[in-house]
Structure 1
Amino acid sequence: MDKYEKLEKVGKGTYENVYKAKDKVTGQLVALKKTRLEMDEEGPPRSVPPPNASLVAHIVDGSKKDGNGKPLLYLVFEYLDTHLKKFIDSHRKGPNPRPLPPAQIQSFLFQLCKGVAHCHSHGVRHRDLKPQNLLVDKNKGILKIAHLGLGRAFTVPLKSYTHEIVTLWYRAPEVLLGSTHYSTGVDMWSVGCIFAEMARRQALFPGDSEFQQLLHIFRLLGTPSEKQWPVVFSLRDWHVYSQWEPQDLARHVPSLGQDGLDLLSVSSRA
């Protein structure tokens, strides 16, 4: 760690603090993520950085301990000061609001899916995919997945996991309904929400509570039936909901062509 000079703290999460830092030799700016190496009821967070995450190094600092006497792990990433949320907002607000170019949406979505597929192929779900956790290099048009602090290994048969994950707007319905057994579909739901947000420049399901979030989802995609989702009525937080019919996605994401709408529909069924 003597190689790096911490400049400022730029983020704080459940499992990690993030610092902007500088390599004392090369002057390169990096993001240092200081992570706890302690076990919880689900085991330690497991990070398998996707190829577009730009991991520079990992350092176990045995000379310093956390509050429980555990060694500290530092992950060293390329530093980027813009995330996808800021990038979308820059196209929605200000003196020159404009849609994201379709080619750019396509490129960012491809990079996101490629990174998520890499995680899933190594048995890890991200569990906290949202625009704020996707770093953007505006000059090179590169999107990088960040904040793997909630990443967990998944196994067959599926283990039981906490449902308090993923920022509300990007949270899959099975998690909202209290399911503790889920797999890669929770990430793919988030990918679909992010895809729609890039196209709309605003969130598709902006709920202010878990109940309101479910209402947003059911009003657009239809209330699930037992035939469509056989176990839905047995989920812990299931209640009797009004019976809504699916709406036309094209009305809510009008900038997408048919291929884009078909792709968005697939993510909702993952």
Structure 2
Amino acid sequence: MELDRFIFNRVYKKGFEALDGETGDVVFVRRVVRSILRQEAEEAEEAEEAEEAHLTHAEASRGATVLRSLPEHNNVISLVASGDVGPDFYWVVDFFDVDLCSLIYEPGGHHVNMPRIRFIMRALLLGVDHLHRHGVVHRDLKPMHVFVNRATAQVKIGGFERARRTAVPPAPLPEDGYSRRTSTWYRAPETLMSSTFDGPGMDIWALGCILAEMVLGRAMFMGNSELHQLYIIYRHLGIPKEEWPALLPDWHPRVPELNLMDLFPPEVLPLLLRMLSINPANRISARQCLHDPFFSP
């Protein structure tokens, strides 16, 4: 890949805003440095810095291959170019002026009202349905990977560095590192329990967490470790009364349960509970979510 076609304008924490000299479009260029060592990442002071540093050259290249193979979709980020430049790997994608995390936590209070929540969730579900229909699991959905264009009201899913095709078996956890590197707050219970299960249900869980965060103005499950994350999930959703699926260990902690009706409006709660089923086999699909009464007020 040649970087000469891009005119760099502004530096951000994770990359650069640039002008594509061939098309005239504004793009975002992300650099994945091959030389970052895992030990350096683990010593990083900020958790997000550690997470970004953990992204390897191989993962970035694999994620770009997955994204390039997908047909274009209005709610999925477009890959303009990607490839090696010297020792490092570069992604070039659509530029968006804000991510959903910034939108939720804008100074001055919670500004994501219910009509906007419906609009954003519909866009995300359409994008995820597109991924799943083409055999791709995102594996790292979170507000920082949802991009919004204020001027055009476009909403697109990004952050495909850890995406995988469902037909490809996941690498063993010690090598794949999913349990250590993906944001804990948006991870499904089966991945917190060191399962190798890597199905579409993990994306639906993450979308449920994003829906809850837009409604509450804060993350719903804010654990500081995998075990603490499970404790918080069970405190909100309760211990499953059904027979546990084989991929979950026989662990039944005693935790006090919260009343979700005190946290969420009645039009949101039924959909949320179907997306946040602890058993991944019981989670509804993205397409089923789109037919929920929540989107037909």
- Please indicate, yes or no, whether the TM-score normalized by the shorter chain is above 0.5: yes
Q: Could you tell me whether the CA contact under 8 Å between 1:223 and 1:244 is conserved in 2?
A: no
Q: How much has 1:8 moved relative to structure 2?
A: 4.4
**Partner in structure 2 of residue 2 of structure 1:** 4
Matched, 1:44 2:62: yes
Secondary structure at the residue paired with 1:232? coil
Q: How much has 1:6 moved relative to structure 2?
A: 2.6
Q: Could you tell me whether the CA contact under 8 Å between 2:195 and 2:247 is conserved in 1?
A: no
**Partner in structure 2 of residue 257 of structure 1:** 266
**Unpaired segments ≥5 residues, structure 1:** 13-17
Q: How many residues align?
A: 243
Cα distance in 2, alignment partners of residues 121 and 60 from structure 1: 26
**Partner in structure 2 of residue 19 of structure 1:** 16
Cα distance in 1, alignment partners of residues 255 and 105 from structure 2: 34
Structure in which a larger fraction of residues adopt helix: 2
**Partner in structure 1 of residue 100 of structure 2:** 84
Pick aligned residue for 2:87 from 66, 85, 89:
66
Matched, 1:184 2:196: no
Q: Could you tell me whether the CA contact under 8 Å between 2:213 and 2:219 is conserved in 1?
A: yes
Deviations, residues 111-139 of structure 1 (Å, cap 9, x unaligned): 00111111111111111111111111123
| CA 1:233–1:98: 2 relative to 1, 3 Å | closer
**Unpaired segments ≥5 residues, structure 2:** 35-55, 278-282, 284-297
The root-mean-square deviation of aligned C-alpha atoms, in Å, is 2.8
Give the residue type in structure 2 aligned to 1:233.
P
Give the residue type in structure 2 aligned to 1:44.
R
Taking only the aligned residue pairs, the percentage that are identical comes to: 30
Cα distance in 2, alignment partners of residues 229 and 249 from structure 1: 24
Q: Could you tell me whether the CA contact under 8 Å between 2:186 and 2:209 is conserved in 1?
A: yes
**Partner in structure 2 of residue 147 of structure 1:** 159
| CA 1:231–1:110: 2 relative to 1, 3 Å | same
Query: Map of 1:109-258 to 2, 5 A cutoff?
Result: 109-155=121-167, 159=170, 162=173, 163-164=178-179, 165-225=181-241, 227-233=243-249, 239-242=251-254, 244=256, 247-253=258-264, 256-258=265-267
For normalisation by structure 1, the TM-score amounts to 0.78
Q: How much has 1:251 moved relative to structure 2?
A: 1.2
Pick aligned residue for 1:30 from 27, 47, 56:
27
